[in-house]
Amino acid sequence: MKPEVQPNKIVVLSGSGVSAESGLPTFRDSGGLWRTFSWQEVASPEGWKLRPESVLAFYNERRLLAWQARPNAAHTAIASLEAAYEVVVITQNVDELHERAGSSKVIHVHGELAYARGTSETPKRYRIDGNPISMGQLCEDGTQLRPDIVWFGEEMRFFEEARMHVATAARVLVVGTSLSVYPAASLVKAARGRAKKVLVAFEVNKPPYGFTFMRGKATEIVPALATTWLKEAAQPAG
């Protein structure tokens, strides 16, 4: 039996296109990071084993840039929806721009740059904000600290929780993602038929069934959409 849709609930699924408009590089676009760096070397468990210092350097730079970036109009518009709705942001992004814009419920399915963790079977997690991780910097269990990021070959976090949120949302906004990264991209399949569903992106191979595709910048489209949804919330029922 499917869970009940909550009429006042919005779920936002966000990807790197939102952060790109704050100046942070994407990964897969023509100028993305994977055109310059090998993900096998800097974003995989195997790369970590072979050259951990290179992995740390890569993520130290990502963390510094993320800490210097500022939330953009799309981030703040998403946060503004909390004035009238229950809003859950499910993001593939590893920065904290959603939180810094004011969103109070953010689920990071690919980890967070602001945290480090050990490498044992039961690692402890540490908040490091924008600070670098150095070789020889250890967890209390004696293992080397690593970025608290989901690498290629590692399991996405909070998948079932995220899927349940999508399945109970009356409105689903997908923004800044081409829906090419799995299993995160499969979350859109949990959106209900009667939910209002919008995809904001520059390009996508095939918009998911039932979604309205709005091509363009998140910083232009999302604020206008948020204004419309807030007005709808203010209208008397019936």
If we measure between CA atoms, which residue out of 209, 175, 213 comes closest to residue 192?
Answer: 209
Is position 108 annotated as part of the catalytic site?
A: no
Q: How many CB atoms lie within 10 A of CB 228?
A: 10
Going through 92-175 in order, the beta strands assigned E by DSSP cover: 106-108, 111-117, 125-127, 146-149, 169-175
Quick one: 203 exposed, middle or buried, by C-beta within 10 A (0-12, 13-18, 19+)? exposed
CB 59 within 8 A of CB 113: yes
d(C-alpha 198, C-alpha 236), whole Å:
23
Q: Of residues 98, 108, 110, 165, which has the active-site annotation?
A: 110
d(C-alpha 206, C-alpha 51), whole Å:
38
Helical H segments across the chain, by residue range: 16-20, 39-42, 45-50, 52-68, 73-80, 97-101, 159-167, 218-234
The DSSP secondary-structure symbol of 188 reads G
Catalytic residues: 110
